[in-house]
């Protein structure tokens, strides 16, 4: 009889499958995004992201208690101010919404790492990630860098464990590293959104962060989804400029980027399972078209298989619960 390998021998039961499983998802892999809004007594559900809300600082304990109970090790913090202006001054105000939220979390939940997203889009009246030349509509690169650096320093001084520039201005990692070092924050790591694509998957996030551009789009500074080799150059430059860790964003349609980057660069890589990816699963689950739990776990496991060391995901709380139940 012709001989062939019997792969099914190692698939015969859950115990057998678990024994030979190559990649495992754990709570320690998860980073949970949290939206903090100015004001008091605010818990604002995000319609396009079922289960996700904005919280004012006086109600933030409700979400952070769940994070602590789930043993999720880190949160990624986004602040929504009560005032926006042309220069995004709330982003680098030492008493801004993000900075005060950092202080609150580090005082009350010191065991949880706080990652501060560094960008101007939530704070500018025009919704772009940098300063704008209104005559040309251009988002100005070099003029934006000092403001991003000021935001990073203010967040680090407020207690942020990690700063994460998401703006996609050229040279921003170098600007942040220099400013952090000059201000005594030598030990604050930079988690760079290096491969961040101009994606349609971000739609629900812009509702949650109230950060949609008032004109134009972000394709002049975020990456073209068609380009993979360029992503490797972006990652390489950010590492050379001082990035300690790298984000690939979005995740699902960009696992080839994660796979290649993991093979080429020896730094921690984080996949950002973004809002649109989350909302698609939630919508399909609500319609009864998919098994939401299985699809979520399969999706996140795929990110691990592609090389992600950690995953930023809005599914974190429910995934932590599911993993505990296993």
Which member of 84, 150, 196, 304 is catalytic?
196
**3-state class of 165 per DSSP?**
strand
> Does an H or E element contain 33, and which?
strand 30-37
Query: Catalytic residue at 196?
Result: yes
Helices (H), 71-132: 97-108
The length of the chain in residues reads: 326
Q: CA Rg, the chain, in Å?
A: 20
Helices (H), the chain: 14-19, 60-70, 97-108, 145-158, 172-182, 203-208, 229-241, 255-264, 275-286, 292-306, 316-325
Q: Which of 109, 118, 126 is nearest to 74 (CA)?
A: 109
Distance CA 104, CA 58 (A): 9
Which member of 84, 150, 249, 304 is catalytic?
249
Which burial class, exposed, middle or buried, applies to 60 when counting CB atoms under 10 A from its CB (0-12, 13-18, 19+)?
Answer: buried
Distance CA 150, CA 91 (A): 8
Helix axes 229-241, 255-264, angle to 10 degrees: 50
Distance CA 75, CA 160 (A): 10
**3-state class of 245 per DSSP?**
strand
Query: Catalytic residue at 249?
Result: yes
Distance CA 299, CA 14 (A): 19
**3-state class of 273 per DSSP?**
strand
Which residues are identified as catalytic? 196, 249
């Amino acid at each position: 009889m012709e001989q062939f390998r019997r792969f099914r021998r190692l698939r015969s039961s859950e115990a057998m499958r678990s024994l030979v499983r190559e990649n495992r998802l754990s709570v320690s892999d998860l980073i949970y995004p949290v939206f903090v809004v100015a004001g008091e007594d605010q818990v604002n559900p995000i319609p396009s992201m079922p289960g996700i809300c904005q919280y004012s600082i006086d109600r933030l304990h409700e979400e952070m208690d769940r994070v602590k109970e789930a043993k999720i090790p880190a949160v990624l913090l986004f602040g929504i101010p009560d005032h926006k202006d042309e220069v995004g001054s709330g982003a680098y105000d030492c008493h801004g919404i993000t900075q005060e939220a950092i202080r609150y979390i580090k005082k009350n939940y010191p065991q949880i790492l706080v990652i501060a997203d560094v960008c101007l889009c939530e704070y500018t009246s025009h919704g772009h990630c940098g300063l704008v030349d209104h005559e040309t509509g251009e988002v100005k690169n070099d003029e934006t860098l000092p403001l991003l650096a000021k935001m990073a320093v203010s967040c680090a001084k407020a207690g942020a464990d990690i700063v994460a520039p998401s703006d996609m201005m050229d040279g921003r990692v170098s600007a942040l590293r220099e400013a952090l070092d000059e201000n005594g924050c030598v030990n604050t790591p930079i988690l760079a959104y290096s491969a961040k694509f101009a994606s349609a998957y971000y739609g629900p996030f812009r509702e949650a962060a109230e950060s949609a551009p008032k004109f134009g789009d972000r394709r002049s500074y975020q990456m073209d989804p068609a380009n993979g080799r360029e992503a490797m150059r972006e990652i390489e430059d950010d590492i050379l400029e001082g990035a300690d860790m790298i984000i690939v964003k979005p995740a699902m349609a960009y696992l080839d980027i994660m796979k290649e980057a993991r093979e080429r660069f020896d730094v921690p890589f984080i996949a950002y399972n973004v809002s649109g990816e989350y909302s698609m699963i939630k919508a399909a689950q609500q319609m009864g078209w998919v098994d939401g739990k299985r699809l979520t776990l399969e999706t996140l496991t795929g990110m691990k298989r592609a090389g992600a060391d950690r995953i930023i995901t809005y599914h974190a709380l429910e995934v932590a619960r599911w993993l505990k139940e296993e």
